[in-house]
Amino acid sequence: MREKKDNYPGNTSTRQKDKIIKFVKKVLPFLGLLIFIYLVADIGLDKIVSAFLSLSPIYIVIVAILTIPRIIIRNIAWQMILKQQRMHIDFVTSLKIFLIGYFYAT
C-alpha cells in the first residue's frame, strides 16, 4: 500500500520543526519575563530606580536628539525600498511598523 502524502513540503520533519518553532515563540516571552523578574529581584528595585534617577537630564535629551532622527532616516530608507518594490505605504504607517520592529529587536 502507498503512504498517504500531504501537500505539505517536507512532510513530517518540516511539521515537527514548525511545531518546535511555534512552541519556542510562545515560551520565549515568558522566559524573558522570568529573567527580568529574577534580575530585578536580585539587583533590587531601589538600586535600579536610583540608577535611573542619577542620570543627568542632559544625557536623556542627547539620546533623544540622536535617536529620533536615526529612526526617521531609517524609515525613509524603508520608504525608498518600498518604492523600488512598487509597494505604497504612507510614511506614518511605515513608521509605526518600523517602531514595532524596533521595539521587538531591542
Structure confidence at residue 10 as a pLDDT band (50, 70, 90): low
Instruction: Tell me what pLDDT residue 4 has.
Output: 54
* 3-class secondary-structure state, position 89: coil
CA atoms of 49 and 37, how far apart (whole Å): 15
pLDDT of residue 8: 55
* pLDDT-derived band at 12, boundaries 50, 70, 90: low
Could you tell me the three cell numbers for 51? 540608577
Q: Which three cell numbers stand for residue 27?
A: 515560551
Cell of 11: 512532510
Neighbours of 75 (CB within 10 A): 19
**What share of the chain has pLDDT > 70, as a percent?**
88
User: Which tens digit of pLDDT belongs to each residue from 53-68?
Assistant: 999 999 999 999 999 9
Q: Domain limits of the chain?
A: 10-54, 56-106
Kindly report the average pLDDT of the chain as a whole number: 88
pLDDT value at position 11?
61
Contact 74, 91 (CB under 8 A): no
Decide if pLDDT at 7 tops 80.
no
Q: How confident is the model at residue 25 (pLDDT cuts 50, 70, 90)?
A: confident
